[in-house]
Structure 1
């Protein structure tokens, strides 16, 4: 079980503005530019009740929904907001979908991370490094890291 070396902190200042640039691209109709690798999550703020937006990387996709990971851990604002109000909207490409968040178990997260590492080895190593996990490239190392990364399944409710 890999211990977290450090907990990443969300960007601030100009880095925050740069990190939020994809939100503006989605709003401008440029969502297809990301080729399905990113989605825009529109969720409800738990304290304000106002709509909030964040762009997330898609870890896995099927016809019923998307799976995303919280790179900033369980303290990420979007993750905490979904715990409070699981109903949200996803913009994938130019299309909008009503979704409900389901939080995955550590075992499911481990399996997902192994599969993601097989499909995107460089991105998986970068995500693990960002989260503070040392991985040697083996499936067992990715599984152990995935068991500590919060994954959320955004299940489409508008089929």
Structure 2
């Protein structure tokens, strides 16, 4: 049986509520570090590419040494997520983790690095390739590299 993706309205509602929980609790709830075999959640603050205003989103991530790695999947919908488009325009961003905040610079993984990081995500989600096949373009593997404090 093929992997089933929840309806788009459900995915959007879930992440909207999750983001609200993080905001209302000041990050005490809704953010967690990854554990072996699972992903964590972070709150990413980008600069809107059209408005220049701060934009926040909660994302799943894994750690790769000092780097944080997420997927630009937009709930497996076709369009690129706005946060990824914002990072492409302005790669500098801020990440809030459970108990920490840091400045990062974003980039797309490519080649062997992308393959290696995709394989890491595949160990967490066995249906990853099935979900990714629903998108018309390759899903970007986004590396968030810590930078000097702002």
Contact 2:33-2:97 at 8 Å conserved across structures: no
Deviation track 1:132-153 (CA, whole Å, cap 9, x = no partner) reads: 26xxxxxxxxxxxxxx320111
TM-score of the two chains, using structure 2 as the length reference: 0.73
State the number of aligned residues: 132
The corresponding residue for 1:93 is 98
Deviation track 1:69-125 (CA, whole Å, cap 9, x = no partner) reads: 11136721111100000010001113211111122114322121223323x2xx241
The corresponding residue for 1:157 is 147
SS of equivalent residue, structure 2 residue 88: helix
Give, in angstroms, the shift of residue 48 of structure 1.
0.7
TM-score of the two chains, using structure 1 as the length reference: 0.69
Structure having the higher helix fraction is 1
Contact 2:87-2:106 at 8 Å conserved across structures: yes
The corresponding residue for 2:32 is 34
Gap regions ≥5 residues in structure 2: 35-39
